[in-house]
Chains A and B, each alone.
Chain A
């Protein structure tokens, strides 16, 4: 564990709290992509299946439980509690285009051709692109509530912070995980446009609006 990874994980935690807070205070999941949230549940379940056979640390254990539980809870909020506030007609990204390639890639590029190992790899590839339905929705509507942009910024910061973590681990532990690194770089790259608008507009006190 190093500072970058810890800050990354805390940022990830924060993003989830911000999202739940947004849904509960506005009593609405408007502007949130159900598809992206469903992909995150898939990612966490596929990756954290190792809860059953690999012990890493108490920290790791509780974080995994939290990520699975909170992501399922968010789906519940969107699907049942605040269902009428979700508009499926603007959440139309075809997730098959993300899940399909993630399955194929994980079968080809993995460290070991074993079921749980392939699930782990699949989760890494899927997570890299899971934000796309959300970004696509943002693009379509052209605007977002400020709180939603804070959620996205915290989520993007989490992956961005993992990059210095990998550099640090390379030098201090001689650990290199090319699958995680390549997917992580792609994932962080997807946020660049968003970050640009976030820093130049939202953090200057303006509303998040994309040019028409």
Chain B
């Protein structure tokens, strides 16, 4: 899953 680690923060 590509978004597993999220990295949705800046």
Closest residue to A13 on the B side, CB-wise?
B10
In the complex, which of the residues A5, A12, A50, A57 contacts B7, with contact meaning CB atoms closer than 8 Å?
A50
CB pair B9–A111 under 8 Å, yes or no, is no
Q: Are the CB atoms of B10 and A177 closer together than 8 Å?
A: no
In the docked arrangement, what's the CA distance between A117 and B9, Å?
14
A209 contacts B by Cβ under 8 Å: no
**Considering residues B3, B6, B7, B8, which has the most beta carbons from chain A within 10 angstroms of its beta carbon?**
B7
What's the nearest-Cβ distance from chain A to residue B1, in Å?
A: 11
Encoded as 1 (CB less than 8 Å from any B CB) or 0, chain A from 1 to 22 comes to 0000100010010000000000
Of all chain A residues, the one with the shortest Cβ separation from B5 is: A111
Number of interface residues of B (CB under 8 A): 8
B2 touching A54, Cβ below 8 Å = yes
| Contact assessment for A180 and B3 in the assembled complex, using a CB-CB cutoff below 8 Å | no
Report whether A162 and B9 are in contact in the complex, using a CB–CB cutoff of 8 Å.
yes
A111 and chain B: residue at smallest CB distance: B5
Q: Which residues of B sit under 8 angstroms from A165, Cβ to Cβ?
A: 9
Q: How far is the CB of B9 from chain A (nearest CB, A)?
A: 7
Q: Say whether A104 faces chain B, with CB atoms less than 8 Å apart.
A: no
A60 interfacial contact with B, CB 8 Å: yes
Is the pair B7, A63 in contact by a Cβ cutoff of 8 Å?
Answer: no
| CB–CB B5/A60 < 8 A | no
Interchain CB contact (< 8 A) of B8 among A60, A67, A117, A162: A60
Q: Does A56 contact B (CB under 8 A)?
A: yes
